[in-house]
Structure 1
Amino acid sequence: MFKFTASEVRDLLIAFFVISLCFAIVNGGRDSNAVLSILPIVMVGVGAGFILHELGHKFVSMKYGYWAEFKLWPQGLIFALVTSFFGFVFAAPGAVYTYANYMTDEINGKISIAGPIVNIILALVFLALATSVYQSAFTSSNSLLIFIICATGYSVNSFLAVFNLLPIGNLDGSKVLTWNFGIWIVTIAIAGILTAASMTIGVENIVRMILGM
């Protein structure tokens, strides 16, 4: 059964808010008014990306019969906040801990890859939604707001996917790479392409290309 402890819910909410604030700072710079205006928009993309990423780990862990619980890493939150003032976010606010006496590399790899796959799927869903409302965004303020939220959701989730797939330390990428090199290289390549497109071409231009404009 999919269960949460009170401390886990608290940790998820704290991490969700701080990471949202970090991405708002990156996008709004040091202008507090800009940060506050961007924050609600960022929270949608980050909220879906961060929460569902962690729930992906938790769901797969519990599917295999393990107890899994998200725990906050305060030092990671502070580091994320500090890096956001330098224009990027080192997003490591905490992790889902899986409690098991023994776990194979395959199961550990499948649990680890679940989070980044969720982010990749979300990025594509946000891109599809952004594409569907783009043309009406020129005449409707509601459609424009939806486009901005979806464009942010695409950018944030593609970044979260590629970041977590880096084979560094205790990030998901290290465990996926240990399990299966082929799956790791394909997954990080997809996430990397989505992120690179967001950073170089820009979401609006990607949408225009899809629409043939």
Structure 2
Amino acid sequence: MFKFTSNEVRDLIIAFVVISLCFAIVNGRGDINAAISMLPIVMVGVGAGFILHELGHKFVSMKYGYWAEFKLWPQGLLIALITSFFGFVFAAPGAVYTYANYMTDEINGKISIAGPIVNIILALIFLAIATMVYTSAAYSETYAIIFIVCAVGYSINSFLAVFNLLPIGNLDGSKVLRWNFGIWIITIAIAAILTLMSMTMGVVNIVRLIIGF
């Protein structure tokens, strides 16, 4: 059963809002008016991606009997906001801290990989929904909005997965790599392919390729 402290809920909300704004700025290409227009759309992808990523860590930690709590990193939020004006987001607003006297590399690796796996699954779900509504989007404003939301959701979640799997500092990738190189390389390869396709092909072309349009 999940248990949250009031400070944890506050930190999650702050991180969610700021990170959503950062991705909106990137998608709006630095234009504040465009960013504001994009914000509601981006918040769906970031809301699902960021919150469920952190809850993935928390769930696995608590499954092993540890107390886990998300804590905000204010400097990380500031870095994310600054980098967003340069066209990318260094998304490190905070982390789920697991409190344990001792933890094996295997358990730490499994807790760490849970977040990126959630992002990969969400990216694929968003892509699947985008594929299903693509044809109808040409005739329906509602379906067109759903397609845009899913396209952004796919792009954000694939990026979050590959970013967090980088074996740098205290990111998830360092812990997963320390536990199992094979699992790390497979997972980051999947995330990297999804991200590369998003950046080079675009979601519209990916969907057209899937449906053979």
Per the TM superposition, whether the score is higher than 0.5 is yes
The answer on 1:180 being equivalent to 2:180 is: yes
User: For 1:166 and 1:37, how far apart are their aligned partners in 2?
Assistant: 31
> What residue in structure 2 maps to residue 26 of structure 1?
26
Aligned length: 213
Greater Cα shift, 195-204 or 24-33: 24-33
Moved over 4 A (4+): none
Q: Deviations over 1:63-103 (max 9, x none)?
A: 00000000000000000000000000000000000000000
> What residue in structure 2 maps to residue 86 of structure 1?
86
Aligned residue type for 1:41 = I
Q: Please report how far the alpha carbon of residue 4 of structure 1 lies from its aligned counterpart in structure 2 after TM superposition.
A: 0.3
Please list, as runs of the form range in 1=range in 2, the aligned pairs for 1:1-213 lying within 5 A after superposition.
1-213=1-213
Q: Deviations over 1:82-135 (max 9, x none)?
A: 000000000000000000000000000000000000000000000000000000
User: For 2:5 and 2:72, how far apart are their aligned partners in 1?
Assistant: 13
TM-score by length of 1: 0.99
Q: Please report how far the alpha carbon of residue 29 of structure 1 lies from its aligned counterpart in structure 2 after TM superposition.
A: 2.3
- What is the percent sequence identity of the aligned residues? 83
TM-score by length of 2: 0.99
Return 5+ residue gaps in structure 2 as ranges.
none
Q: Deviations over 1:131-163 (max 9, x none)?
A: 000000000000000000000000000000000
Q: Please report how far the alpha carbon of residue 31 of structure 1 lies from its aligned counterpart in structure 2 after TM superposition.
A: 2.1
Q: CA RMSD in A?
A: 0.4
User: For 1:142 and 1:70, how far apart are their aligned partners in 2?
Assistant: 35
Return 5+ residue gaps in structure 1 as ranges.
none
Q: Is the 8 A contact 2:79 2:90 kept in 1?
A: yes
Q: Is the 8 A contact 2:30 2:87 kept in 1?
A: no
